[in-house]
Amino acid sequence: MVKHAAYFRDTWAEINLDHIFENVKNMKQHIKGGTKLFAVVKANGYGHGDYQVAKTALEAGADYLAVAFLDEAIALREKGIEAPILVLGATRPEDATLAANFNIAVTVFHEEWLKRAVEHFYGEQPLKVHIKCDTGMGRLGIREKDELRHLADQLLAHENFLFEGIYTHFATADELTTTFYEQQLERFKELLSGLDSLPELVHCSNSAASLRFEDAQFNAVRMGISMYGLTPSQEMKDILPFPLKESFSLHTKLVHVKEIKAGDAVSYGATYIAKENEWIGTIPIGYADGWIRKLQGFKVIVDGKLVPIVGRICMDQCMIKLPSKYPIGEKVTLIGENNGMFVSVDDVAEKLETINYEVTCMIGNRVPRVYKKDGKTVFIHNPLHSLIK
């Protein structure tokens, strides 16, 4: 029988599941005993893969999952995840029944939503609802105590709706100056004080707050970026209570190697001109994979050495300047470790003048994800086709 590879272009992202497991386990140990943990796996697990990350996080002690949209939650259910899931973003009131039937909790942040959801609801089981409070983020959420109390009363009055949780989201928990964070926490406590009783889950801490502030843990936290081993901000690097282990790496291989002469050009626009005879390697990754044109000039690793990307990055390929002739098939690392040299997600973020969150999210689904445990490949996810494995 012919054994197919799971992917047919030598460009892949590797996800270290042991690191994700350890990051979750360490967070569970760090937060107060009995505090529940939501593993935030929205946006395809910040680009790492929703299902594998969710499974690993649950094995490591996560109690709940959180995603941004109902589609993401349904996708997890269809892949066999049975753990409780909360949708953090807006869900249409017309879709309340669907959410309830999949046992997916939704976020509510105005009364009109509830009115419309009640009209449309014919679910087989009650819909779990978390109320979102806006304490300073200015995104989703109720801002006024009276409005909150009224919504909570309405929720409690409907037997088809289960008021399961209440939460808010911090805008600056990753900054060393804590004034705004403290204002938001006080505002949240003030809003809670208007309720006769609290629901089962009260949560407001993202990674940054979970890592730093015990008084914001209430009885659950929402762990996103730190689960993937990335620091919520550069400012926080020196104050982490435990080391975070990066889990995302990105690799490719040389598909063509050639010597060009002084004066020869490389890539679109002929903007790169060799100053001397140079070895140029072509790698099969480009802006359509999320390796965007702004990364021109950035370094990748070949044989433990940093080498520059030269000329414009094309849609599917780009060129690097090699220190000498290398064989076709030589591994090239764009993020992660290669022969003792390391390029971190943060290094890429710095080059792009953005945050690490954006870097792993932008590596597209044309790049297969290869999952590693104990150094061994345990699963390959390539959404492009099903010739496997």
Ligand X SMILES: Cc1ncc(COP(=O)(O)O)c(C=O)c1O
Options 32, 237, 268, 389, the catalytic residue: 268
Options 42, 128, 132, 253, the catalytic residue: 42
Q: What is the 3-state secondary structure (H, E, C) of the chain?
A: CCCCCCCCCCEEEEEEHHHHHHHHHHHHHHCCCCCEEEEECHHHHHCCCHHHHHHHHHHCCCCEEEECCHHHHHHHHHCCCCCCEEECCCCCHHHHHHHHHCCEEEEECCHHHHHHHHHHCCCCCCEEEEEEECCCCCCCCECCHHHHHHHHHHHHHCCCEEEEEEEECCCCCCCCCCHHHHHHHHHHHHHHCCCCCCCCEEEEECHHHHHHCHHHCCCEEEECHHHHCCCCCHHHHHHCCCCCCCCEEEEEECCEEEEECCCCEECHHHCEECCCCEEEEEECCCHHHCCCHHHCCCEEEECCEEEEEECCCCCCCEEEEECCCCCCCCEEEEEEEECCEEECHHHHHHHCCCCHHHHHHHCCCCCCEEEEECCEEEEEECCCCCCCC
Number of residues that bind ligand X (CB under 6 A): 12
Residue span binding ligand X (CB under 6 A) among the ranges 147-155, 200-208, 281-289, 333-341: 200-208
Q: Is 42 noted as a catalytic residue in this protein?
A: yes
Residues 58-97 that bind ligand X (CB under 6 A): 88
Residues 155-194 that bind ligand X (CB under 6 A): 169
* 225 scored as a contact of ligand X (CB under 6 A): yes
Please state the closest distance from residue 224 (CB atom) to ligand X, in A.
2
* 15 scored as a contact of ligand X (CB under 6 A): no
* 232 scored as a contact of ligand X (CB under 6 A): yes
206 or 217, CB closer to ligand X? 206
Residue span binding ligand X (CB under 6 A) among the ranges 72-80, 216-224, 252-260, 377-385: 216-224
220 or 254, CB closer to ligand X? 220
Q: Is 167 noted as a catalytic residue in this protein?
A: no
Residue span binding ligand X (CB under 6 A) among the ranges 112-120, 204-212, 258-266, 312-320: 204-212
* 48 scored as a contact of ligand X (CB under 6 A): no
* 40 scored as a contact of ligand X (CB under 6 A): yes
d(CA 58, CA 89): 22
* 223 scored as a contact of ligand X (CB under 6 A): yes
Q: Which residue is nearest to ligand X (CB)?
A: 224
Q: 139 CB contacts (<8 Å, ≥6 apart)? A: 169
* 207 scored as a contact of ligand X (CB under 6 A): yes
* 222 scored as a contact of ligand X (CB under 6 A): yes
Task: Among 26, 52, 135, 206, indicate the residue that binds ligand X (CB under 6 A).
Answer: 206
9 or 212, CB closer to ligand X? 212
Backbone angles phi, psi at 204, to 5 degrees: -145, -10
Residue span binding ligand X (CB under 6 A) among the ranges 69-77, 191-199, 225-233, 325-333: 225-233
The interface mask with ligand X, positions 275-314, x = CB under 6 A, is ----------------------------------------
46 or 287, CB closer to ligand X? 46
* 49 scored as a contact of ligand X (CB under 6 A): no
- Which residue ranges make up the site for ligand X (CB under 6 A)? 40, 88, 169, 206-208, 222-226, 232
Report the catalytic residues: 42, 268
